[in-house]
Amino acid sequence: MTAIRLRQFFLLLFSFLIVGVGFFQMFMRTQGSMPMDFTIRLIVVAALFVVLWALMAKFQPYGSQTLVPCLVLLSGIGVMLIARIDAAQNTGVAGRQLLWIMVSLVLCCALVAGLHDYRILRRFSYVSMVVGLALLLAPMLPLVGHEEGGSRIWLKFGSYTMQPAEFAKLFLAFFFAAYLFDHRDQLAVGGKKVLGFRLPRIRDLGPIIIVWLVSMGVLVMQRDLGTSLMFFAMFVSMLYVATGRASWIAIGVGAFAVGAVAASSIFSHVGNRITAWLHPFDADVYNAVGGSEQLVKGVFGLAAGRLAGTGLGQGHPYITPLSFSDFIYTSVGEELGLAGLLAVLLLYLIIIATGMVTAMKIKDGFGKLLASGLVFTMAFQVFTVVGGVTLLIPLTGLTMPYMAAGGSSLVANMLLAMLLVVISNAANKPQPDTTSDTFQYEALAALREQEVKERAAQVEAQKAQNALATQVISTKPLLGANPDEGDDGYDGYEFEETADQDIVDEETHEQPRIDDEMLEEHARHAQHAAGDNGTTGGNANDIANDMRRDGR
């Protein structure tokens, strides 16, 4: 274990070295020296990453340690290019981004140290649903809701903005995983088979219809194609993992395609993005408001980078609008070239593959659905961003995880990665060897301890029952016998009578019941005693009938 920890630590130091050399080279080319305040912030961030690694080694010893170096490289490259754009535009976005990295690392440390068992999240499934929907619809509030770029997906507090949908995806993933885990057997039942697909039953279409309506509501009210597409795709992917039926994917793709086509014809904002994707180099589309100018400049930046890039600090990524956020990937391509783009995609692939392996290894159904849903959300977000800036698909408005400027996306995706670490800790934890003598001895000792407890409980129950029977029945001469006169004609039992209260069961607070055979037995003895005293048998029967009537 010590050798493994050393290799992991050296891998973390190697990622620090790569990022440090990149910052040094970029600042020397753009400013001639390393800014002191920026250097201090970088050292603090590196120290927090080391603390996070140490906490993972202590509280999540079997969690995947490959994620932290990937996070260091992705966030480091992102801040490096943002700082390069700041140097050209005289802005300070990179400094704020480092502060958001510090905040996210503190939250990640708290999550790793505090969340020992991810299954506790299943208890709050419906609470997660309410919180997720509230965050998703929060930008519609009249005072704090903020519209930017044609989409109303922001909350604005003074000069700071927040995108709550980034956090909503975590809470909705908790709810989707818990709901599908509880109802997976019902949703897996197939109906009619059409075109090689086993379609689900009509009554099982309710969940996907509800999520589709919520996604379309986000698309209509907030005019945000990316967020609505991401949530609907996350639910459909988790539904496929839960049931194993490809028909759910076909239904999901068809349903969202219908909604997207309808939205493109209703909302000009969505329609402009599709037109810019189809005709990016058309002069009219290029010069139109909301046209393809940003797309075309991003493509030219990618072309300028070629294979090895222009070099850090020697390109012109700031020419592309929003090159530090939505188009951060084109900035990487211009200054680091195709080699840098492939290296970035490889880092994302490592994170995604780690999450997929965790989902396959974990035996708990809730953990399997949660891990697959979280990692698919990240993979889908990377695909839509890369596909959008390379003209593969229309732009969706999503940002590159860990790299693009923005505190909401950075914090949410950092927490997502730490959730994968917690789940991987449970998946990689070694199982006990059931064939060893120690395990068998401990199992036998546990069984014996359980048997002793059960026997003790049975003895206590028997004692309580005997004590109750002793209170109910007492040894006393029967009715009609007079012990003072020396009548020893019968030596038997009768029920003790009290003048003020009846006999009541202490456990049930009910009077004890006497069956007919016991009453007849008392009647015969009473008749015998009455015959000795000169009474008739009818009196004995009357006594028995009175006892039966009184419930005694």
User: What is the tens place of the pLDDT at every residue in 365-379?
Assistant: 999 999 999 999 999
pLDDT score at 446 = 80
| H or E segment to which residue 154 belongs | strand 151-157
Tens digit of pLDDT for each residue in 29-57?
999 899 999 999 999 999 999 999 999 99
Element (H, E) at 145: strand 145-148
Q: How confident is the model at residue 474 (pLDDT cuts 50, 70, 90)?
A: low
Residue count of the chain: 552
CA distances from 20 to 14, 94, 105, 273, 282 (A): 10, 15, 19, 38, 42
Q: How far is it, in rounded angstroms, from Cα 23 to Cα 39?
A: 9
How far apart, in whole angstroms, are the C-alpha atoms of residue 404 and residue 419? 21
- Cα dihedral value 236, 237, 241, 244, nearest 10: 60
- Rounded CA gap, 315 and 94, in Å? 18
Residue 316 in contact with residue 295, Cβ under 8 Å?
no
Please, what sign has the CA dihedral across residues 115, 120, 124, 125?
positive
Q: What is the pTM of this model?
A: 0.77
Q: How far apart are CA 34 and CA 18, in angstroms?
A: 16
Mean pLDDT confidence for 60-68: 92
Tell me the percentage of the chain whose pLDDT exceeds 90: 44
Answer whether 318's CB lies under 8 Å from 294's CB: no
Residue 417 CA, distance from chain mean position: 12
Lowest mean pLDDT across 263-267, 467-471, 493-497: 493-497
What does residue 551 show for φ and ψ, rounded to 5 degrees?
80, 15
Look at residue 201 in the predicted model and tell me its pLDDT: 66
Task: Quote the pLDDT of residue 150.
Answer: 67
Exposed (0-12), middle (13-18) or buried (19+): which is 225, by Cβ within 10 Å?
Answer: buried
Secondary structure letter of residue 288 according to DSSP: S
pLDDT at 452: 85
Supply φ then ψ for residue 495, to 5 degrees: -80, 130
pLDDT at 244 over 90: no
Contact 351, 67 (CB under 8 A): yes
pLDDT at 493 over 60: no
Instruction: Give 257 or 347, the one with higher predicted confidence.
Output: 347
Most confidently modeled range among 217-231, 269-283, 442-456, 530-544: 269-283
Q: Could you tell me the two tokens for 1? A: 């274990």
406 phi-psi bin (left φ>0, alpha ψ -120 to 50, beta other):
left
Q: At 490, is the pLDDT very low, low, confident or very high (cuts 50, 70, 90)?
A: very low
Output 191 or 248, whichever has higher pLDDT: 248
End-to-end distance of the chain based on CA atoms, in angstroms? 75
Most confidently modeled range among 221-230, 281-290, 333-342, 517-526? 333-342
* pLDDT band with cut points at 50, 70 and 90 for residue 538: very low
511 DSSP 8-state letter: P
Structure-block tokens of residue 544: 């028995």
Q: Which of 181-190, 311-320, 506-515 has the highest mean pLDDT?
A: 311-320
Mean pLDDT rounded to a whole number for the chain:
82
Pairwise CA distance, residues 377 & 369, whole Å: 12
Q: Amino acid identity, residue 196? A: G
pLDDT confidence band for 342 (50 / 70 / 90) = very high
The secondary structure of the chain in percent helix, strand, coil, rounded to multiples of 5, reads: 70, 5, 25
In the chain, where the domains are located: 121-429
Which pairs from 164-167 meet CB under 8 Å and 24+ separation?
Answer: 164/135, 164/136, 164/138, 164/139, 164/408, 165/135, 165/136, 165/224, 165/227, 166/408, 166/409, 166/411, 166/412, 166/413, 167/135, 167/408, 167/411, 167/412
Distance CA 83, CA 90 (A): 10
